[in-house]
Structure 1
Amino acid sequence: MNLPNILTLFRLLLIPVFILLFFSNVPDNLFYSIMVFLIAGLTDILDGYLARKYSLITKLGIVLDPLADKLMILTVLSCLVIKNYISLWILIIISIKELSMIFFGIILYNKNTIIPSNKLGKLTTILFYLSIFTLTINIKLGTYLIYLSVISALIAFVNYFILYYKNKQLLGNNDKSVQK
């Protein structure tokens, strides 16, 4: 297990920490939970940087990194819905998108096929981190940024399916679009 994968696992462990802080009675719990969320975002950037710079990209990391991102985003959005910071429809749309991506990712992984995250997917993740952070400072601006994040997520979702089908056609429908 290399350092980028360890950082990704650490990010997964931050999910229950976020939940505990978010719903705790600790003074400034929102601030502390958002700090955990931002630390998760920084580890995401760091693990990607280290993996690329030192050629530590692994099949496990290609699968686990976006899974950690998806689970963190879904957790945070769920918590925000529970406390009425955002509307339920945002969580529903993003949940359908993210759970579909996880489901199809597992199917492709079992077929030894991986479509790694791309710039549009990464931009969407950054937008969600920015919008959720902004929401805690300025609800109106944060809400608009969340709407933008939802639109970006839907565009990224369509883009991933286009990439999958293009690769599938190029390789004669043998489900080997990107092998790692």
Structure 2
Amino acid sequence: MNVPNALTIFRILLVPVYLFVFFSSYPQRIEIAYIILIIAGLSDIIDGYIARNYKMVTEFGKMMDPFADKLMMLAVITSFFLTERISLGAALFFFARDVGMIVASAIFHFRGKKTVPANVFGKVTTVLFYMVFTLIMFQYPYAEMCLWIVIAFSFVTSAVYAVKLRLINKAS
């Protein structure tokens, strides 16, 4: 096991920790949950950097890294919905996109098809989600409106991935 894969597993393990803290009765639970979320985001950046720059990219990492990211994001959206920080509609659109991406990626992977590596649109989308998660977590005004904008952008990003996915698998 290399460092990037260990960081990916670490991020997966942070998901139940985030949920436990977020739903606890501890007075500073939101601040601590936010710190956990930021640690997850930073570990994603670090593991990607190490994997690419030190040629430690593995098949496990290609599959599990995006899964770890989606799992954390789905946990965060679920926590926001259950605490009425966001509407059902926003949660459902978010879930539809992310679960769809997980399922499509798994289908392509297990059928031996090529998958599309992360590109600048995907990275920007992730950064935007983390920014809007900050607004929602601390209940800033217009936070959900910002979430809807990022969700719309994420669907555009998904469309770009779908086109690239089709093209690379058509060429091979």
> TM-score scaled to structure 2, two decimals?
0.94
Query: Which segments of 5 or more consecutive residues in structure 2 lack a partner in the other structure?
Result: none
Number of the residue aligned with 1:166: 167
* Separation of aligned partners in 1, 2:64 and 2:118: 11
Amino acid at match of 2:83: K
1:142 positional shift: 2.9
1:87 positional shift: 1.0
Number of the residue aligned with 1:148: 149
1:143 positional shift: 2.6
Query: Which segments of 5 or more consecutive residues in structure 1 lack a partner in the other structure?
Result: 172-180
Q: Could you list the structure 1 runs, at least 4 aligned residues long, displaced by more than 4 angstroms after superposition.
A: none
Amino acid at match of 1:134: L
Tell me if the contact between 2:51 and 2:57 (Cα under 8 Å) persists in the aligned partners. yes
Segment drifting more, 90-99 vs 161-170: 161-170
Tell me if the contact between 2:11 and 2:43 (Cα under 8 Å) persists in the aligned partners. yes
1:146 positional shift: 1.4
Amino acid at match of 1:43: S
Number of the residue aligned with 1:139: 140
Number of the residue aligned with 1:63: 63
Number of the residue aligned with 1:89: 89
SS in 2 for 1:109: helix
1:58 positional shift: 1.0
Number of the residue aligned with 2:28: 28
Segment drifting more, 77-86 vs 110-119: 110-119
Is the counterpart of residue 53 in structure 1 residue 53 in structure 2? yes
Tell me if the contact between 1:127 and 1:145 (Cα under 8 Å) persists in the aligned partners. no
* Separation of aligned partners in 2, 1:98 and 1:161: 13
SS in 2 for 1:140: coil
SS in 1 for 2:55: coil
Task: Report percent identity of matched pairs.
Answer: 32
> TM-score scaled to structure 1, two decimals?
0.90
* Separation of aligned partners in 1, 2:91 and 2:122: 17
Aligned CA RMSD, in angstroms, stands at 1.3
Tell me if the contact between 2:80 and 2:137 (Cα under 8 Å) persists in the aligned partners. no
Number of the residue aligned with 2:14: 14
1:141 positional shift: 4.5
1:61-105 C-alpha deviation (Å, 9 max, x unpaired): 111111111111111001100001111111111111111111111
